[in-house]
Structure formats: structure tokens, C-alpha cells
């Protein structure tokens, strides 16, 4: 894997872009503040893990789970 995935500025941008596509409402700012507060090493690792999972089309496992109704159907 390319070293740029472990460089903080690139990793931060990649992580923010990944989670930004899932968040379009008011909760987005809360999610982003949670990401910003992570340690640099965690953000770099998360970006590298996401990149690796993307090779197998599995990066969605890192997405926030959607809220479900009681019957199991999405809201």
C-alpha cells in the first residue's frame, strides 16, 4: 500500500470524504466532530483500512449503521 495513505493530511481528507457521502443532515456535524477528535494515528489507520477494504468492495462495513424500525425495515 502506498505511504500516502498513512500521511495525516491525505488520510484525514479520505476519511472525511468517505463519511461525508453518508451524512447529509444535521447529524453530519456531530459525526465530523467525532472524527476530528480522533488521534492522528487512528485517522491514518482508518484511511488505510478503508483503502484495503475497498479493494474487496467491503468499505461499507465502516459506514454508520442505519436506524431501523421495529420490524427490521429502514426508516
The tens digit of pLDDT for each residue in 20-69 reads 776 555 555 666 778 888 999 999 999 999 999 999 999 989 886 555 54
Domain that holds residue 52: 3-62
Q: Is 19 helix (H, G, I), strand (E, B) or coil?
A: helix
Is residue 35 a part of any domain in this protein? yes
Q: How many residues does the chain have?
A: 75
Question: Residue 71 domain-assigned?
Answer: no
What global pTM score does this model have?
0.69
Residue 24, in any domain of the structure: yes
Say which CATH number the domain at 51 has. Answer: 3.30.420.110
Amino acid at each position: 500500500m502506498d505511504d500516502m495513505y498513512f500521511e495525516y493530511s491525505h488520510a484525514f481528507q479520505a476519511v472525511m470524504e468517505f463519511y461525508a457521502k453518508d451524512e447529509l443532515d444535521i447529524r453530519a456535524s456531530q459525526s465530523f466532530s467525532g472524527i476530528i477528535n480522533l488521534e492522528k494515528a487512528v485517522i491514518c489507520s482508518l484511511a488505510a483500512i478503508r483503502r484495503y477494504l475497498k479493494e474487496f468492495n467491503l468499505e461499507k462495513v465502516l459506514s454508520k449503521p442505519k436506524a431501523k424500525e421495529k420490524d427490521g425495515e429502514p426508516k
